[in-house]
Structure 1
Amino acid sequence: MIKGIAIASMENQLSLFDHSPEPSQKLQKLEMSRDQFIQWKKQIARHQQATRENHPQQTSLFDTINQFDPQGIDPFGLKQYATRFYDLAEMRLGQEGDPCIYFLIDNCFPLLLYIGETIHSNQRWRGGHHVEEYLKKYVQLNRKHGLEVLPALAFEWGAPEETRLRQKMEYSLIKKWKAPFNKENRAIWGHPFGE
């Protein structure tokens, strides 16, 4: 009988020090209310609209010395594709695609959600991309709150093949437009859609 008491006491003692919740009991992140979500989108849209209004008009992809200028890009003015663009017939013409800077846009607001770069445009999202999960959660939250959502991808072709230069251009655009899905802007807009 004493052994049974000792074991029971030991189990109770262990549970006093084990503060980690069971996997099924872990707290989920709080979800934005409809009003909070709309306000979040409005703040981002205000910044991006002001950026667009103060944005130099793009006359050509290349200046006189044939240099790609990312600051001249208006993401909202580019031709747009479905988010599963790599399944489209017109995108299957090349094997791997071309270097580009790409933009994830919600046309219903409108809102620039993400900016990325790639050397192979036809392969960038094939097989998975972390932004697909953010987009899925974003679309779900819009639908839950009865808000329209129309995601699309736009591409700026002609980006340099040199990775570091393309990444530098991407970073300058992320800072300029403050796209909320880019980790560089989490301190500004928060990170409401998880990893």
Structure 2
Amino acid sequence: MAAEYQLSFLSEGDQKAAELSWVYNQTPTGDLSLGELQGWKQRVLEFQRSVRATPVVRQGTLFDVTATSDPLDALDPFHLPQRNAEFWRGCFDESGPPALYFVVDHELPLLLYVGETIKSNQRWQGEHDCKRYILNYIAAHRPHGLPVTVNIGFWPYAPCDRKTRQALELALIQRWRSPFNKENWRLWGTPFVGSRAPE
């Protein structure tokens, strides 16, 4: 077992970079045992089940006259139309609308990753770290003969404004605690991050 991580007195930006560096160095070598894999998935599943069962609490105001639809209340990542993780290889006539997207293992189900994009049909072209996490996640299931069904669902109603879209993305990452998003690595660990591609 590696030495425990100790916080430093770096600036916030430097500290985040140091934390990410530490996380990459904590990735286990070799395959996960059946117990480790199932235990990790069960912890995430139990948390996300509790999220699904608990309505989002909103702070009201005295001046709310009309009810507004909040995507955090209505958006269910598990019921979006599913696309194969290699969807981006297809030919598209358009770049696609702004969207939030969700990587889900529908076998349990587990929400693994939340992302945002201005061009939903082009987002996954080229390099994307989450592609590696998905491949490592699927590969971890193979030696144990466990079923796995990883797909991507797009919610095509995301705001066009980048800051607004990213704020909604962050709220969903925090709500669901999706384990492939770096914001949640300290909570769930990083068994599927694997080696970084050479720069």
Q: Which structure would you say has the larger Rg?
A: 1
Percent sequence identity over aligned pairs: 37
For residues 132-171 of structure 1, the aligned pairs below 5 Å read 132-171=131-170
Give the TM-score, by structure 2 length. 0.73
Alpha carbons 2:107, 2:148 under 8 Å: kept: yes
How far apart in 1 are the matches of 2:41 and 2:124? 24
Q: Secondary structure at the match of 1:96?
A: coil
- In structure 2, distance between residues paired with 1:187 and 1:28: 12
Rounded Cα–Cα distance in structure 1 between residues aligned with 2:154 and 2:67:
22
After superposition, the Cα gap between the structure-2 partners of 1:96 and 1:191, relative to the gap in structure 1 and judged at 3 Å, is same
**Counterpart of 2:127?**
128
Is this contact kept in 2: 1:71–1:173, CA < 8 A? no
Residue equivalent to 1:106 = 105
What RMSD over aligned residues (CA atoms) do the two structures have, in Å?
2.2
User: 1:1-195 to 2 correspondence within 5 Å?
Assistant: 29-30=28-29, 31-55=31-55, 69-88=71-90, 92-93=92-93, 95-194=94-193, 195=196
For structure 1, list consecutive stretches of 5 or more residues without a partner in the other structure.
1-26, 57-63
- Once the two structures are TM-superposed, the CA of residue 168 in structure 1 deviates from its matched residue by 0.5
What is the count of residue pairs matched by the alignment?
159
Q: Deviations over 1:60-96 (max 9, x none)?
A: xxxx78866244211001111111123456xx24x21
By how many angstroms is 1:129 displaced? 1.1
Task: Give structure 1 regions of 4+ aligned residues with deviation exceeding 3 angstroms.
Answer: 64-68
Which segments of 5 or more consecutive residues in structure 2 lack a partner in the other structure?
A: 1-25, 57-65
Stretch moving more, 28-37 or 161-170: 28-37
Aligned residue for 1:104, secondary structure, equals strand
| Relative contact order, higher structure (CA 8 A, sep 6+) | 2
More helix by share: 1
